[in-house]
C-alpha cells in the first residue's frame, strides 16, 4: 500500500499545498518564496528519500514566519497521514551529520506523542533572507503535527548555513531510518502497548 499523502491548507496568511511519498527517491519540487528555506527542504527531501512537492504562497511582505511555521504544520500533517497505522516501521531514528565544521544531530520517535527538544545557537539573525529563529519554529510545527518526538541540535559549528543544513540533513536521515519497514516486525507495531 503506498505511503503517500496530499494536504492543502489555506488561511488569510498562507496558501499551501503539500504532496509526499515516504517510499520515494527524494525527488522534489519546492517553492515557498524563501530561498534558504527551499534549500533546506530540498535537502530534507533528498536525504530522507521522501518525495516532496511543496508550494507555499505566504504573506512575505510581513515576514517569513507564517510561511515557515505553516509549511511545518502541513508537512507534518502529510507525514502523519502517510505513515498511517505505523505497522512494521522501525519507529526510532537517529543521525549525526557533519557539514564541514558543524555537526547536526537528530533523534526521533514516531510515537504519536509530539515533543520537541531544540538546541542550536546562531551567530547571525539571518541565513539569506530567512530569520534563524524560524528553524526552531519549523521543527516544532513539523514535529507536533507529524506526531513525533524530536530532539534536534547543533552542538558546535561556526558557520550558520552549515549549522542549519547539518540539522536538516540529520532530520532527513533519522526520518529515513525510522520510517523504514523492518521485516522482523512485519504486521506488528513496535510498542509494548500494541499501539502508537
DSSP string, 4-47: EEEEEEE-SSEEEEEEEETTS-S-EEEE-S-HHHHHHHHHHHHH
Q: Which three cell numbers stand for residue 178?
A: 525510522
**Do residues 94 and 174 touch, judged by C-beta distance below 8 A?**
yes
What per-residue confidence (pLDDT) applies to 175? 98
Instruction: Using pLDDT thresholds of 50, 70 and 90, give the confidence band for residue 5.
Output: very high
Residues 86-100 pLDDT 10s: 999 999 999 999 999
Instruction: Using pLDDT thresholds of 50, 70 and 90, give the confidence band for residue 195.
Output: confident
Query: Is the pLDDT reported for residue 193 higher than 90?
Result: no
| Domain edges within the chain | 4-185
What per-residue confidence (pLDDT) applies to 67? 98
Q: How far apart are the first and last CA of the chain?
A: 19
CATH homologous superfamily of 4-185 equals: Imidazole glycerol phosphate dehydratase; domain 1 (3.30.230.40)
pTM of the model: 0.97
Angle at 159 between CA 74 and CA 143, to 5 degrees: 20
Give mean pLDDT, residues 132-161: 98
Give mean pLDDT, residues 153-162: 98
Instruction: Using pLDDT thresholds of 50, 70 and 90, give the confidence band for residue 69.
Output: very high
Average pLDDT across the chain, whole number? 97
What per-residue confidence (pLDDT) applies to 3? 98
Q: How far is CA 151 from the centre of its chain?
A: 12
Find the DSSP H helices in the chain: 35-48, 65-83, 134-146, 160-179
Comparing CA positions, the residue from 117, 105, 93 lying closest to residue 163 is 105
Helix (H, G, I), strand (E, B) or coil at 132: coil
Question: Which residues are 181's β-sheet partners?
Answer: 89
Amino acid at each position: 500500500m503506498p505511503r503517500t499523502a496530499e494536504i492543502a491548507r489555506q488561511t488569510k496568511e498562507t496558501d499551501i499545498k503539500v504532496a509526499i511519498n515516504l517510499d520515494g527517491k527524494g525527488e522534489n519540487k519546492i517553492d515557498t518564496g524563501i530561498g534558504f528555506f527551499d534549500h533546506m527542504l530540498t535537502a530534507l527531501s533528498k536525504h530522507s528519500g521522501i518525495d516532496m512537492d511543496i508550494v507555499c504562497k505566504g504573506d512575505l511582505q510581513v515576514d517569513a514566519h507564517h510561511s515557515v511555521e505553516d509549511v511545518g504544520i502541513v508537512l507534518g500533517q502529510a507525514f502523519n497521514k502517510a505513515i498511517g497505522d505505523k505497522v512494521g516501521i522501525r519507529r526510532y531514528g537517529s543521525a549525526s551529520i557533519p557539514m564541514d565544521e558543524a555537526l547536526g544531530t537528530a533523534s526521533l520517535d514516531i510515537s504519536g506523542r509530539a515533543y520537541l527538544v531544540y538546541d542550536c545557537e546562531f551567530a547571525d539573525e539571518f541565513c539569506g533572507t530567512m530569520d534563524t529563529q524560524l528553524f526552531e519554529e519549523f521543527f516544532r510545527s513539523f514535529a507536533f503535527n507529524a506526531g513525533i518526538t524530536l530532539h534536534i541540535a547543533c552542538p558546535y559549528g561556526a558557520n550558520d548555513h552549515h549549522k542549519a543544513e547539518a540539522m536538516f540533513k540529520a532530520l532527513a536521515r533519522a526520518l529515513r531510518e525510522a520510517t523504514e519497514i523492518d521485516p522482523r516486525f512485519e504486521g506488528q507495531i513496535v510498542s509494548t502497548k500494541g499501539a502508537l
